[in-house]
Chains A and B, each alone.
Chain A
């Protein structure tokens, strides 16, 4: 502790750097919130006044009504919620099932299966989107939820995460349940699943967020306004309202609210979730 004292001077520097970064990371978010309540004229007044003069409710009205007053925003954000939730659920279910199978059962080809699933991590979605697009066209499932969800049903990373977690799961529990006459699927559903809540939460959040953020695949699959997702909505709204900065920020803010709520209530899984990537280095 005494050694610490010699470094009081650089400490000011450290705090300064941390403070500058804090301003840099938070300033644009605060800007979004404050600008969403301003008229465009106030937003682009130099220098920028951070406190809005009253709340410009019409920004939010415009954001929700959309470009042609069809309230397509509501439909689009619902689409995003449906797709992201469906992907989160299916990823958790399939990844845990596979991870359990790989971690606790011995069967021929188990390692091959694991290696093959791991190998898919090296295939980026961006490299296979053209063939996937052709498949979607051939199956005529463009402009449908199935088309939006299908390529993301499970992720290799999810399988890996579940397998790592379940390898340390005490086998005695499973054997005890077997002795009691529980079926294999029952064991998975009633013993394994309820005992991996933290991993499930992390995985669900990661998959939910990746779809909430996804712009590229919906651009390929959803051409009709009704089936567009929220990133597409923001993108086209920003294009057609390019001079109405207040309404743009209101739309951006509204589109971020679900993630904000999720982040506030489940912060530790967000932060811990990125830390779990760390285990990949093993």
Chain B
């Protein structure tokens, strides 16, 4: 009899659990699963926003068009977008990863807790500004008469040279990377500091007793133990970079050339919203989705197999 009553409670409990997760399930079905399925479906059609005709089925036509090598010559092609996204992602996440790791190691080795705290907060400050504000500040710094030229020329002792930050195609890409790097550096420093703090100090003590130098400690102990954090941070940084939009949008709408910074998200926005080619934009979205999916799966795989035990 006792068990029967218990089962009744369990069933009641189960019902409540289901009630509690229901709102989220409805939400995610409507605003994540349905849209991605819809994007895949729409990507097979020539769908336009303002057209009254039923959309024409194209099969893989949109994708073939996106990856058509003969269109690569055009500045604003999707292949070019892929290229500028790759350039931006690699050019941002590699410096971000290396510099934030170095800074985190340096900060962790400081003895004063106050300095540690101060540096973490100061490095984090740019992250609280919105991307639009960040881009606005840097656009003025990158003015021909702005601080960018002044400081770089002072550093390199080349007075009066204009680096054409927002005009030259390569420099324009560099500018977007600098803005992004500036905004996210503090965030990644903190991630690494947390990762470093989770390594037990006894390991360091043991190795110093064994006579290891600081260099050896870093390369043989810190870095291998930090590997899960490194993988996590790099995938997160890459995913973040693939989604970049505001910086590029701001620079373009203020007169910088579009082709070098025509990243995928920006291309989706222009193609789908401004030009109203919804089918073609959906195909781009699906490509972006697949890229990010592969990256995330890679992260899951590496973090699962390489869990470090201290």
- Do chains A and B stick together as partners? yes
Interface string of A15-37 (1 = CB under 8 A from B): 00110011011111101100100
- B46 an interface residue at 8 Å Cβ cutoff? no
- A252 an interface residue at 8 Å Cβ cutoff? yes
Docked-complex contact A213 and B126, CB < 8 angstroms? no
Docked-complex contact A275 and B190, CB < 8 angstroms? yes
Which single member of B31, B146, B246 contacts A132 (CB below 8 Å)? B31
A274-B285 in contact given A7-B214, A25-B186 (Cβ < 8 Å): no
| Complexed CA–CA distance, A256 and B49 (Å) | 36
Q: Which of B57-65, B67-75, B86-94, B248-256 contacts A (4 or more CB under 8 A)?
A: B248-256
Docked-complex contact A278 and B17, CB < 8 angstroms? no
| Complexed CA–CA distance, A235 and B185 (Å) | 24
Chain B contacts for A262, CB-based, 8 A: 128
Docked-complex contact A256 and B129, CB < 8 angstroms? yes
Chain B contacts for A173, CB-based, 8 A: none
Q: Which of B76-84, B117-125, B169-177 contacts A (4 or more CB under 8 A)?
A: B117-125
| Closest Cβ–Cβ distance, residue A121 to chain B (whole Å) | 7
A281-B140 in contact given A130-B285, A133-B273 (Cβ < 8 Å): no
- B107 an interface residue at 8 Å Cβ cutoff? yes
- B141 an interface residue at 8 Å Cβ cutoff? yes
- A203 an interface residue at 8 Å Cβ cutoff? no
| Closest Cβ–Cβ distance, residue B87 to chain A (whole Å) | 18
A3-B269 in contact given A94-B23, A120-B32, A274-B190 (Cβ < 8 Å): no
| Complexed CA–CA distance, A231 and B25 (Å) | 31
- A150 an interface residue at 8 Å Cβ cutoff? yes
Docked-complex contact B229 and A248, CB < 8 angstroms? no
Which single member of B130, B141, B272, B296 contacts A130 (CB below 8 Å)? B272
The interface on chain A, measured as residues whose beta carbon lies within 8 A of the other chain's beta carbons, has a size of 97
A281-B27 in contact given A28-B182, A106-B13, A113-B21 (Cβ < 8 Å): no
Docked-complex contact B38 and A131, CB < 8 angstroms? yes
Chain B contacts for A256, CB-based, 8 A: 128-130, 133
CB within 8 Å of A: which residues of B? 10, 13-21, 23-25, 27-28, 31-36, 38-39, 42, 49, 99, 102-103, 106-107, 109, 119-126, 128-134, 136-141, 143, 145-147, 150, 182, 185-187, 190-191, 194-195, 198, 208, 214, 228-229, 231-232, 236, 239, 242-243, 245-246, 249-250, 253-255, 264-265, 268-269, 272-273, 278, 281-282, 285-286, 288-289, 292-293, 296-297, 303
Shortest beta-carbon contacts, A-B, top 7: A105-B17, A101-B20, A128-B35, A107-B14, A131-B35, A127-B289, A98-B24
